[in-house]
Amino acid sequence: MHIQDLQTFVVGNPPPHFGGRYFVLLKVTTNTGVSGVGEAYCLPFGPDVVVKMIEDVFERSVQGRDPHNIESLWRRVYSSGFTQNPDLSLMGVLSALEMACWDIVGKEANQPIYNLLGGKVHEKLRSYTYIYPDKGADESVYSDPVLAAQRALDYVDAGFTAVKFDPAGPYTNFDGRQLALKALERSETFCRLIREAVGNRADLLFGTHGQMTAAGAIRLAKRLEPYDPLWFEEPIPPDSPEEMAKVARGTSIPVATGERLATKYDFARLLRAGSAAIFQMNLGRVGGILEAKKIAAMAETQHVQIAPHLYCGPIVGAANIQLSACIPNFLILESIEQWQGFHADILQKPIVWQDGYVIPPTEPGLGVELNEDLLHKHPYTGEKLHLEMQDAVVHEV
């Protein structure tokens, strides 16, 4: 068998846009008629350019090849153009194509991917969600700690045992920085009120997006420690694991990071520096499912746990589930609420969420199939990026 055809979808994510403006999905099909699906996460180019990149890599390195040969596929793409470096854009494209190959391999073997990567360790996967606005509500929940605490309680009452929030303020092209006193106070108030609302029924996951310097992050962490968050996420930009390690040494809160990193080589730098207790690779960017499995194995040797990141569509979500089911050091899985709404509509059969846990599918491959009729009805025709940082310096005090 060999891979023959490629089809791409840039799918507009309708309001309230949980998971981003759009999802970049693809389907590859073999000469025997077996197809697999994949998703690329957050490439820093317009979606029309991303599609051209996918098509180029497919034609150069994937078309005509046996989908079982994932290791050679990976090295071929990783080395293309004399690179051999964790290039986030190239790795996003590779990740989508790699998970589609795994989907095909699983279907050929009539097994879920986790059974081909060592077998199921977890019968169910603990999950968390960001605190999002209620249906029809405005976005005040992101800035109002009283509303956020009420929404956190709503999620916990629904079954979640962890909630994530990011009240530290905008993330910009000019970070890291020292947070303003108002941002420090707001962050502490969020933690205090949410902890008071949920008690010991749920973990608090304090999210940031690399806004701070190491010194600034430690300064904030001191304020948060009394409320015992499970993690302090990406407190500084991802380009210096040595600086991240200063934060890890300077606080009792476990540091989590990895959303903006790719390949085993980036994560090996984190391990060598002692930068984090929790790795959050995104399988639509890190290099795919097998690469994430290798990273999880490296992390296991240092007692670092895995919490796969998700702020995109349900195909990366499905890949996260396959990885999480088969690794001993799995901690928790990011969900987009309960996988309802558009995230469910995209699929022929939705991801199963029950009482705070995602249930791994038993179907072969990724265990999901695209609803292509729906995808064609929701094309994204804009030019914006999936995520964009604020292009202004923060001057508040």
Q: What is the DSSP string of 221-278?
A: HHHHGGG--SEEE--S-TT-HHHHHHHHHH-SSPEEE-TT--HHHHHHHHHHHT--SE
Same domain membership, residue 141 and residue 88: no
Same domain membership, residue 144 and residue 103: no
Structural domain boundaries, residue 356: 115-366
Domain C-terminal end among 111, 135, 155: 111
Helix 47-57 / helix 88-109 crossing angle, nearest 10 deg? 60
Determine contact, residues 102/289, Cβ cutoff 8 Å: yes
Q: Would residue 387 count as lying in a domain?
A: no
User: Any idea what the Cα angle at residue 180 is, between residues 176 and 186, rounded to 5°?
Assistant: 110
Q: Would residue 156 count as lying in a domain?
A: yes
Question: What pLDDT shows up at residue 396?
Answer: 77
Determine contact, residues 289/113, Cβ cutoff 8 Å: yes
Same domain membership, residue 218 and residue 80: no
Same domain membership, residue 317 and residue 288: yes
Question: What pLDDT shows up at residue 397?
Answer: 65
Q: Would residue 258 count as lying in a domain?
A: yes
d(CA 148, CA 191): 10
d(CA 134, CA 118): 40
Same domain membership, residue 100 and residue 161: no
Same domain membership, residue 282 and residue 206: yes
CATH number, position 31: 3.30.390.10
Q: Would residue 186 count as lying in a domain?
A: yes
Residue 362 tokens, joined: 């038993």
Same domain membership, residue 154 and residue 295: yes
Residue 238: cis peptide before it, omega within 30 degrees of 0: no
Query: Which residues of the chain register pLDDT less than 70?
Result: 397
Classify 156 as helix, strand or coil.
helix
* Residue 326 Cα distances to 121, 185, 233, 263, 306, angstroms: 5, 41, 24, 19, 12
Q: Would residue 397 count as lying in a domain?
A: no
> 139-176: b or e for each residue (b if 16 or more CB lie within 10 Å)?
eebbebbebbbbbbbebbeeebbbbbbbbbbebbeebb
Say which residue the tokens 């059969």 belong to. Answer: 349
Residue type, position 62, single letter: V
- Residues ≥6 apart with Cβ < 8 Å to 114: 120, 322, 323, 325, 326, 360
d(CA 319, CA 40): 11
User: Any idea what the Cα angle at residue 74 is, between residues 239 and 308, rounded to 5°?
Assistant: 50
The count of domains in the chain is 2
> 94-111: b or e for each residue (b if 16 or more CB lie within 10 Å)?
bbbbbbbbbbbbbbbeeb
Reported as type and span, the H/E element at residue 76 is helix 70-78
Same domain membership, residue 138 and residue 91: no
Same domain membership, residue 122 and residue 66: no
Q: Would residue 360 count as lying in a domain?
A: yes
pTM confidence score: 0.97
Residue 194 tokens, joined: 């949410």
- Residues ≥6 apart with Cβ < 8 Å to 280: 233, 234, 256, 257, 258, 259, 306, 307, 308, 309
Residue 334, CA atoms < 13 Å, CB-side half-sphere: 27
Q: Would residue 371 count as lying in a domain?
A: no
Same domain membership, residue 239 and residue 149: yes
- Residues ≥6 apart with Cβ < 8 Å to 199: none
Determine contact, residues 143/136, Cβ cutoff 8 Å: no
Same domain membership, residue 90 and residue 163: no
Domain C-terminal end among 66, 96, 111: 111
d(CA 169, CA 289): 33
Domain C-terminal end among 79, 111, 143: 111
Determine contact, residues 358/127, Cβ cutoff 8 Å: yes
Q: Would residue 376 count as lying in a domain?
A: no
- Residues ≥6 apart with Cβ < 8 Å to 64: 2, 3, 4
Same domain membership, residue 58 and residue 169: no
Tabulate helix, strand, coil % of the chain (nearest 5).
40, 15, 45
CATH number, position 270: 3.20.20.120
Determine contact, residues 40/54, Cβ cutoff 8 Å: yes
